[in-house]
Amino acid sequence: MGAYNRAVSIVEHREEAPAQVRCFVLTISDTRLEATDTSGDAIVEALTDAGHEVTGRQIVPDDPDAVRDVVALQAGGVQVIVTTGGTGITSRDSTYEAIAGLLEKRLDGFGELFRALSYREIGAAAMLSRACAGTIGKTAVFCLPGSEHAVRLAMSTLIAPEIRHVVRELQR
């Protein structure tokens, strides 16, 4: 298949994608409160600016059981879950471990692309991010770092441009 045919196929997929996606936003932090959750705010802003519906939002401590419980509860009820926080390597960062075990299919390219984009901005420290994505049934899950700047980067360059396409593929 030539490059033109592949490009036409992607364009067709995007045209067939739903106009609006139902999303849930989860902030994972031991310190953030609703008033200080700027990363969660940035996710909500990016989703609503793109015309999507945020059906709920929650903050939970950096505790694997709490994270797993919320994600498992929301999966299937929404089309996309976006998390922020807990993707680093400190002793309290456990988002990757909590969610990776729930994923049925991994989207390894998401984490790879995110780290490549981050590398351009912050250099080698980008390797410390364990941002990841995958699917639970027909729900896509994106796990982002807690940094507001990192969230804005991922939302504007990766998630917002492809979220409708991802959901379309999961509905097939």
Q: Rounded to two decimals, what is the model's pTM? A: 0.93
How do the pLDDT tens digits run along the chain, 172 residues long? Answer: 556 566 668 777 777 778 899 999 999 999 999 999 999 999 999 999 999 999 999 999 999 999 999 999 999 999 999 999 999 999 999 999 999 999 999 999 999 999 999 999 999 999 999 999 999 999 999 999 999 999 999 999 999 999 999 999 999 9
**What is the domain range of residue 51?**
3-171
Task: State the Cα–Cα distance between residues 131 and 83, nearest whole angstrom.
Answer: 10
69: domain CATH number is 3.40.980.10
Question: One-letter amino acid identity for 152?
Answer: R
Based on the structure, what is the number of domains in the chain?
1
The crossing angle, in degrees rounded to 10, of helices 38-49 and 160-171 is: 70
Of the candidates 42, 65, 36, 68, the one whose C-alpha atom is nearest the C-alpha of residue 54 is: 42
Of the candidates 136, 31, 122, the one whose C-alpha atom is nearest the C-alpha of residue 77 is: 136
Give the contacts of 158 (CB within 8 A, at least 6 positions apart): 110, 113, 114, 117
